Amino acid sequence: MADMANTEQISNNKADLWKEKLEKLSKLRDQSKKDNRLDVYAENEKRKENPKLQIRQERKRKEAEELLAEAKAEEKGEDFIRIKAYSWSAEDVEKWEERQKEKESRVDKGFT
């Protein structure tokens, strides 16, 4: 009798362990579903966005910052072009001049 009661208790313990494990896995599955659904929604929203619009907004923001900096420089009585030129390195200037020379050489001089 004691063996039978002991066996039932062990089987009940195993059943309880399986039940707990099943509940954990079920919770994990539900959480994964929620996370996946959120990811799908985020991807869908990202797909709806127009990348050209973002580029356009970024360009406008940079232009606005430059105009603001120019206005501040004028307010202080400084030369904005000179201030802007300080941010350029000698290598940048040389590359720019080289590009301008190449561009000049490719220009069609007209009928000769």
- pLDDT, one tens digit per residue, over 9-51 is 777 788 889 999 999 999 999 999 999 999 999 999 888 888 8
* Mean pLDDT along residues 89-110: 89
Total Cβ atoms within 10 A of residue 73: 16
Overall pTM > 0.75: no
What is the Cα–Cα distance from 24 to 30, expressed in whole angstroms? 10
What is the Cα–Cα distance from 4 to 10, expressed in whole angstroms? 10
What is the Cα–Cα distance from 39 to 17, expressed in whole angstroms? 33
Identify whether the C-beta of residue 85 lies closer than 8 Å to the C-beta of residue 95.
Answer: no
User: Is pLDDT of 5 > 90?
Assistant: no
- Kindly state the tokens that stand for 71: 């206005």
